[in-house]
Chains A and B, each alone.
Chain A
Amino acid sequence: MILFSNVSKTYENGTKALDNISFFIERGEFVFIVGPSGAGKSTLIKLLMHEETATSGDVIINNVNVGALKQNQIPYLRRSMGVVFQDFRLLPKKTVYENVSFAMEIVGASKRAIRRQVPNVLSMVGLSSKAKMLPSQLSGGEQQRVALARALVNNPAFLIADEPTGNLNPKTAMEIMELLDDINKRGTTVIMATHAKDIVNAMKKRVIAIEDGVIARDEVRGVYGYED
C-alpha cells in the first residue's frame, strides 16, 4: 500500500510542486494520476521512486517511511516497484532478452532463475519471437512492451508508469493499456500518470487529479475531466 500524508515538495529554486497532499492507495488498485503539465504529476512519481524527497509530510510505501531511508537502502525500495517511462529507456546495445534479464542480474538473481523467468515475462507481453532483436528494430509499442517486461520481471508489488503511452499512437496505446489491465488483474498495483484523456475515460478506474500542486478530485470510477 502507498500512503501520502500531508506531503509538500518545494524545489530548491522555490517552485512549490506539491502542497499538502494526502491520499491512500490500496494493494491491487489501478490509479490514474491526471492533471495539466506542471501540476505536480512528475514530482509525485519522483517521490514514489525516491528520486526526490518530500520537503514535509510522509511518503509511506509498504509500511516503510521512504523519507527516512538511508542512501544504501534506496535500491531495495526500488526493487519493490517496476517503472515504465514515456521514452522507454531501453539499452540500445542490448537485445530484448538482455534488456529484461539485465534487471534480474542487477538484483543478483541466479542464472537458472533468469532463464526461467525472462521467457515467461516476454511471452506475457507478446514478444517471444523478438527476443533476439535490438530495441532499434522494434516499433514504439513493442519497445514499451520490453520496458514493461523489464519492469515486471522481478515481480514487483507496484508498477509505476509515467506517461507510458505518450509516444504511442492511439491503437498501440490501447494495447499497452490492456496489458496494464491484465497485469493489474494479476494483483500488481498500477499507478499511472497520464495526459491521455481517451484512455482515462475508457478505463473507468480511480482518478486522482492534481492541479497547482493540490488534489482537485479523487474519484473511484473517474474521468479525465480536462479539455486539452
Chain B
Amino acid sequence: MKINGFRYFLREASKNVFSNGWMSIASIFTVLASLLVFGLFMVLTLNLNYIAGQLEGDYEIILVVDETYNQQQVEALGETIRGVENVKEAELDSKTNRLDELKDEFGENASLLDGYETDNPLRDWYKITLSDLSRSDETVQELEGLPGIVKIIRNQDTIDKLVSMTTYLGHISIWVMAALALISVFIISNTIKLTVFARRKEINIMKFVGATDWFIRWPFIIEGIIIGLIGAVFSFVVIAYGYHGIIGLLESLEISFVDFKPFHELVLLLIGTFLGMGVVLGGVGSLISVRKYLKV
C-alpha cells in the first residue's frame, strides 16, 4: 500500500465516520453492547478460574513422616520435599504441635491424653500444596518414593472434582466467547451493511472508473476499525468501573469467602482483548458487508 493510498484511505474513512453520523453511532453502540456481554463473560470466567485456582492452590496433601526420624532428619526431609517439582509449599505440623491441638479439642477430657508428652504416639506431618493440582498423581508418586515418608493422605475424589471443574470451566468459556464473537461480527456486519448500501452508487462509480477491489474495501475496513475501537474504549470504561464497583461492594459486605481477581491483574488483558476484538469485529464486519457490492 502506497503512502498516498493510505492517506487517502484514512481520510475517507474518518470522513465517513462523521458524515454517517447516526449510522456510526448505531454501529458504535452495537460494538459496545456486544463487547459488554463479551467482557462480562470474560471477567466472570477469569474470576471463576481465579477462584478455582485458589481452591486448587489451597488444597492440602498430608505427608506422614516416619516416627523414628529425629528433628534434624525431619527438617532435612522438609527441604527434600520442597525441592520436589510441583510442590508449592510444605509446612511442618510437628507432633508436639498436633498434640497441643488435640488437647484443646478434648478440653476437659484432656486427661485421656496424659502421658502423651513423654511418649508421643503422634507423627510429624508435612502439609503440602501443589502448583498444579491436575498433576497430583505424578507428584505423589515421586513423594512416595522419598525415604522417611510412610503415608500420604489425600482425597483423590475431591482433587478429581476440582480439576475437572476447572478444565470444564476453561472449555466452556472458550466456546461461549467464540460464539459471542461470531454473533457480534454478524450484528456489526449488518449495521455496516446499511452504510455500505447507502454508498452503493459510490462503490459502483469507483468500479467503473477502474478502482481495484482492495482500494474500495480499505476505507470501509478502516471505518469499521475506527468504529470498533471507539466501541471498545467505551465498553472497557464501563466494564472497568462496573468491576471496581461490584468488587468493592462485595468486599465491603464481607460475605465473600473467596478473593476476587484484583483489577490491576485484569486490566492489561481486558484492554488488549477489547481493542483486539474492536479491530477484528469492525474490520471483519466491514469486509463481509462490502463484499456483495464488489461483484460488478
Contacts and interface: CB of A to CB of B under 8 A. Distances in A.
Interface string B204-237: 1111111111010000000000000000000000
A72 B19 contact: no
Contact of A108 (B4, B19, B202, B213): B4
Contacts of B215: 75, 106
B208 A110 contact: no
Q: Of B2, B204, B210, B215, which is in contact with the most chain A CB atoms at under 10 Å from its CB?
A: B210
Contact of A91 (B5, B202, B211, B296): B202
A79 B215 CA distance: 14
Nearest to B216: A106
B296 A105 contact: no
Contacts of B296: 51
- Of the listed residues A79, A102, A103, A106, the one surrounded by the most CB atoms of chain B closer than 10 A to its CB is A106
B210 A111 contact: no
Interface string B1-40: 0101100100000000001000000000000000000000
A110 B7 CA distance: 12
Contacts of A111: 4
B201 interface: yes
A78 B210 contact: yes
Contacts of B202: 91
Given A103-B209, A107-B210, A93 B4 contact: no
Nearest to B205: A89
A9 interface: no
Contact of B212 (A51, A75, A93, A150): A75
B205 A108 contact: no
Interface in B146-205: 201-202, 204-205
A106 B211 contact: yes
B212 A83 contact: no
Please classify how large the interface on chain A is, using the bins under 10, 10 to 19, 20 to 34, 35 or more: 20 to 34
B209 A106 contact: yes
Interface string A59-76: 000000000000110011
B201 A89 contact: yes
Contacts of B206: 106
A49 B208 CA distance: 8
How would you classify the secondary structure of chain A's contact residues: helix, strand, loop or mixed? helix
B184 to A, nearest CB: 30
Contacts of A89: 201, 204-205
Given A105-B8, A111-B4, A79 B205 contact: no
Given A72-B212, A106-B210, A91 B205 contact: yes
- Greatest chain A CB density within 10 A among B5, B201, B209, B296 is at B209
A111 B212 CA distance: 19
A172 B243 CA distance: 69
B213 A72 contact: yes
A91 B213 CA distance: 19
B208 A83 contact: yes
Nearest to A153: B209
A154 B4 CA distance: 17
Contact of B209 (A71, A78, A93, A108): A78
Nearest to B214: A72
Contacts of B212: 72, 75
B269 to A, nearest CB: 40
A95 B296 CA distance: 25
B208 A108 contact: no
A223 B5 CA distance: 47
B4 A150 contact: no
B19 A150 contact: no
A214 B25 CA distance: 54
Contacts of A93: 19
Interface string A24-66: 0000000000000000000000000101000000000000000
Interface string A77-107: 1110001000001110100000000110111
A91 to B, nearest CB: 6
Given A51-B296, A91-B202, A75 B211 contact: yes
27 contacts: A51-B208, A51-B296, A71-B213, A72-B212, A72-B213, A75-B207, A75-B210, A75-B212, A76-B210, A78-B208, A78-B209, A79-B210, A91-B202, A102-B209, A103-B209, A106-B206, A106-B209, A106-B210, A106-B215, A107-B209, A107-B211, A108-B2, A108-B4, A108-B5, A111-B4, A150-B209, A154-B210
Interface of B: 2, 4-5, 8, 19, 201-202, 204-213, 215, 296
Q: Which 8 A-B residue pairings sit nearest by Cβ, starting from the closest?
A: A79-B210, A78-B210, A106-B211, A75-B212, A103-B209, A75-B210, A83-B208, A106-B209
